[in-house]
A = this chain, B = another copy of it.
Amino acid sequence: MVGASNPMISRALQESLERIRRKMENIRFKIAVMSGKGGVGKSMVSTNISVAFSLMGFKTAILDSDFHGPSIPKMLGVERAELVFDNGFKLVETKYGVSVISIGFLLDEKTPVIWRGPMKANALRQFLSDVNWGELDFLVIDLPPGTGDEALSVAQLIPGISGAIIVSIPSDVSRVVVERSVSFARKLDVPVLGIIENMSYFKAPDTGKIYYIFGKGGGRRIAEEMNVPFLGEIPIDPRMATTCDEGIPFIVKYPDAEAAKAIMKIAEEILNTLGVKRP
């Protein structure tokens, strides 16, 4: 309403969107990662997939846009990084090849008020229009949890998203979740690249026996039913929480773990879906 009745605000909006577009021109693929709800490990998946792309030789950055708990800088060991402004914000480099831009770099105890409601998207827009992305193969966009207004407002700030990935856990994958995700992607005019099922099973380290703690095969089943690609399943690994706390990506610390191999395979699968060859 304000924008419609006030040509100044409307022009500022247009200009910042145009600045974002121009600054993002040299990114080959922009992948949005979403989830039906919180707590499914979306940020862990975004982080490790990004590191996987990076290990494969792709120049990759990750955008952490989760206002509720921007955890990606911590997972990459750059929680205390400071943004450098040099004719635009510079991407924050990590030890793992991938670079990162996070809402978390902007938040502090003193600024809770500006993040209420629609201000969030405005603040993020302003921020994004000032980031210098440089040349990238991949930008992985970790969206806020859910497929509602908030995730949508954020995703709509990024022009030309190549595709969307849904992260879920077995008990949370339902027809409704996938339908919502498809309708989300439709609003953005991007294809759903597929579903990743996290916490698919727990393999007892002593006996090797597999337990389907949160249900079995839900992701693959619903993907087939709804005609959406199934990108793979990631088992539960108790060490995953620790690596998130330590700031070392799981696939770097435990490359031989079943979960790490699953993540690498999923990254390959995404390349296949996009028709991209490894450099």
Which of chain B's residues have a CB closer than 8 A to the CB of A68?
37, 145-146, 148
Which of chain B's residues have a CB closer than 8 A to the CB of A148?
68, 112
Q: Is the CB of B202 within 8 A of A214?
A: no
- Whether A3 sits at the interface, judged by CB under 8 Å, is no
Which of chain B's residues have a CB closer than 8 A to the CB of A85?
none
Closest approach, in angstroms, between the C-beta of A116 and any C-beta of chain B?
6
Which of chain B's residues have a CB closer than 8 A to the CB of A241?
170-171, 214-215
Tallying the copies of this chain within the complex gives 2
Residue interface mask A104-135, B partner, CB < 8 A = 1: 00000000100111100000000000000000
Name A242's closest neighbour in chain B (CB-CB): B215
- Whether A226 sits at the interface, judged by CB under 8 Å, is no
Partner of A202, one of B37, B69, B118, B211: B211
- Whether A227 sits at the interface, judged by CB under 8 Å, is no
- Whether A209 sits at the interface, judged by CB under 8 Å, is yes
- Whether A38 sits at the interface, judged by CB under 8 Å, is yes
- Range of interface residues on chain A? 20 to 34
CA A211 to CA B213, docked complex, whole Å:
12
Partner of A238, one of B204, B214, B238, B242: B214
Name A237's closest neighbour in chain B (CB-CB): B213
Which of chain B's residues have a CB closer than 8 A to the CB of A242?
215
- Whether A236 sits at the interface, judged by CB under 8 Å, is yes
Which of chain B's residues have a CB closer than 8 A to the CB of A211?
202, 204, 238
CA A66 to CA B37, docked complex, whole Å:
12
Residue interface mask A227-261, B partner, CB < 8 A = 1: 00000000010100110110000000000000000
Which of chain B's residues have a CB closer than 8 A to the CB of A92?
none
Which of chain B's residues have a CB closer than 8 A to the CB of A116?
117-118, 149
Residues facing B in A129-151 (CB within 8 A) are 145-146, 148-149
Name A38's closest neighbour in chain B (CB-CB): B38
- Whether A13 sits at the interface, judged by CB under 8 Å, is no
CA A206 to CA B210, docked complex, whole Å:
11
Which of chain B's residues have a CB closer than 8 A to the CB of A215?
238, 241-242
CA A245 to CA B211, docked complex, whole Å:
20
CA A68 to CA B180, docked complex, whole Å:
13
- Whether A158 sits at the interface, judged by CB under 8 Å, is no
Which of chain B's residues have a CB closer than 8 A to the CB of A40?
39
Partner of A213, one of B112, B149, B202, B207: B202
Name A169's closest neighbour in chain B (CB-CB): B39
**Which residues in A have some Cβ–Cβ distance to B below 8 Å?**
37-40, 68-69, 112, 115-118, 145-146, 148-149, 170-171, 202, 204, 206-207, 209, 211-215, 236, 238, 241-242, 244-245
